[in-house]
Amino acid sequence: MEVIDQENLKKLYDLRNENVLKIVKEFVSICKPSKVTVITDLKEDIDYCRLRAIEIGEEIELATEGHTTHFDGFFSMSNHDQARDKEHTKVLVPRGHYRPPAINTIDREKGLEEILEIMEGCMEGHECIVRFFCLGPKNSKFSILALQLTDSFYVAHSEDLLYRSGYEEFKKLDGSNDFFYFIHSSGELIGDIPVTKNLDDRRIYIDFVENRVLSVNNQYAGNSLGLKKLALRLAIYKSNNEDWLTEHYFILGVHPKEKNRVSYFCGAFPSACGKTSTAMLPGQTIVGDDIAYLRVWEDGYAHAVNIERGIFGIIKDVNAKDDPVIFEALTTPRETIFSNILIVEELPYWIGDGRPIPEIGINYSGEWYKGKKDKNNKEIPHAHPNARYTIRMEELDNVDPNLHNPNGVPILGIFYGGRDSDTMPPILESLSWEHGVFLGASIESETTSATLGAEGVRNANPMSNLDFLVISLGKYLKNHLKFGTKLKFSPKVFATNYFLKNKDGKYLNGILDKLCWVIWSEGRTQNDFEAIKTPIGYIPKYLDLKTLFKQYLDKDYTEKDYVEQFSIRINNILEKLDRIEVIYKKEKDVPTFFWNIFNNQRISLKNLKKVYGMAEISPILLEK
């Protein structure tokens, strides 16, 4: 490898791992960079990535110390590099193997032939950076190591904010190939601010045979940072063939008033169902906001770690009123990368930031002015709706002290959030671990006015993981059941729905009411509250909620509110069961326990309707 000097070559040899050397040699030969630089855990190496990103124009320094912005490729509002490319993100499946119906797949041999041809010479004239990361805390049984080759310093800098460095961890592998690896190239670049040119040849291919992701002709972090959602698929495949779980979970520390304790919860919510707002509830602490690894621990609990140490978050609608913790972090000095926002006098502006929209500035389309349109006559907003911020989690005031605990945190409860306007109550607790798995498998999310197509259509999204499931749903559910039965103290499982409406279309939940649902759930894990048993799960008692609303929100919670929110809407729930049945009847090997719970719930609801002679039953009646 003539393009790598002796100093950098020594850094590779010091790892004492032939597998790393083989991968670097193979892809340097294919991609043909003009230079190879190896980054260790040393501060000067890591700083080099940020400084080079600014020097070559991939990032632009802003007025606030530590702030930079990055622009991804833009040709029009319908042709850009500013969101995940689902069409060209594919799993390479060997012939004869299971093909997940919910995600794109391609025959492995055909896919490799295609992408390796595109990658031939893709780094010509570029510097290739060799990176080493740790998915999860260092010195931890949870963690998986990751090797990354990229020719984007923006990608490398982003990874420094999002992941723990892993060069020294690689030395502990003792020559093993037990790591993921990611090859990325932005490909040919154009413009004074260099962006990917050949978006038609954008490819993101996931290969389980080699535990790797190959990604080319893109810069947007959702496509280029293999360690995030792309690695999620690799880890789901790995964990579900071993004895642990990889989930699309936040990890939240719940701190009830006057209790002097913290209880840790995980939570999975489809998009626009309240995941971020739950993870960032006032007075609570955050361990993670996106992806968690879970293992059975010696104390009998499930323990979880955040595989990341930072946040790659959607910045739209982050403002001082609704998101004070994040807004404060984004508007004060600290290392932060903004992407695809508007710059005016070296300050960033984004959609919904609570400030007046400037008339002119610089954004992803170049010189921007209000009313500017793309080549298809579509108006270009001042910031992209999918604009992002990247920041270290330690920069948030509400970060939990166990963020980097190698043993993770014990999980007492799991939230599964959905969105429906007329069916499920705001909070309920599962009847058992098995029923909790059923609740997670039954998540539905209504489409909103912000979604193309009809409003109010309910889409199933088991455990909020459907886009990333690379194994069969049947196997996935069996592994959840098996995982919980190994635990001495399996987590209590809760289902949330913040979007229930009355007959006039008005939301029955206030924005911050979720704090009371979360505190009630925490109390249930500690036996602080009794509950009412129903066919769909345990629901809160009125007087407990009345006390919590007064204590936490200084709000009068009326019995009328309670009855509206927690009445059992039998016909609507039966219709939901019908939809679930259609979906799962198409799946092979759905475990027996799932159908037992399904059938028992349907029978119990019909009996309840018969006993009371009505289709909507007040919780007051059920408590008597």
The strand order across the sheet containing 347-349 reads: 347-349, 342-344, 360-363, 366-369
Long-range contacts of 7-14 (CB under 8 A, 24+ apart): 8/36, 8/37, 8/38, 8/130, 9/38, 11/38, 11/40, 11/167, 12/38, 12/130, 14/171
Supply the DSSP string of 508-551, one letter for each residue: SS-TTTHHHHHHHHHHHHTT---EEEETTEEEE-HHHHHHHHHH
356 secondary structure, DSSP code: P
Give the H or E element holding residue 187: none
608/606 Cα distance (integer angstroms):
5
599/576 Cα distance (integer angstroms):
13
Q: Which of helix, strand or coil describes residue 77?
A: coil
Of 223, 211, 82, 225, nearest in space to 163 by CA: 225
Classify the C-alpha dihedral 497-503-504-505 as positive or negative.
Answer: positive
Q: State the number of CA atoms in the 13 A half-sphere of 68 facing the CB.
A: 23
Q: Single out the catalytic residue among 31, 128, 134, 273.
A: 273
Extract the tokens encoding 571.
């016909």
Q: Is 273 a known active-site residue? A: yes
Phi then psi for 267, rounded to 5 degrees? -160, 140
> For residue 22, what are the contacts with CB-CB under 8 A and spacing of at least 6?
none
Q: How far is CA 3 from each of CA 32, 41, 124, 128, rounded to the nearest angstrom?
A: 9, 22, 11, 10
220/155 Cα distance (integer angstroms):
9
Phi then psi for 33, rounded to 5 degrees? -70, 160
Q: Which amino acid, one-letter code, is at 1?
A: M
- Which residues are tagged catalytic? 273
